Amino acid sequence: GGKPKTLEDVGKDFGITRERIRQLQNIALAKLRRALSKKEDLPDVAERVAA
């Protein structure tokens, strides 16, 4: 729960720029979309996104 964080907030938490957070978010979403389009099992999807 709680209030959603901005990209800048997340970047500060990890010591990187908001632009890098945006890039990582896009990479993770692309991995999820590819995995889901192949109908992979969700645990496998989570493992790939984390990689």
Query: Is residue 2 one of the residues assigned to a domain?
Result: no
| Domain count along the chain | 1
**Average pLDDT for 11-21:** 98
26, 18 contact by CB (below 8 A): no
Query: Is residue 1 one of the residues assigned to a domain?
Result: no
Give percent of the chain above pLDDT 70: 88
- The predicted model scores a pTM of 0.68
Q: List the domain range (segments joined by +) for residue 25.
A: 7-50
Query: Is residue 24 one of the residues assigned to a domain?
Result: yes
21, 14 contact by CB (below 8 A): yes
pLDDT of residue 38: 79
pLDDT of residue 45: 66
pLDDT of residue 24: 97
d(CA 1, CA 3) in angstroms, rounded, equals 7
The pLDDT confidence band at residue 40, using thresholds 50, 70 and 90, is low
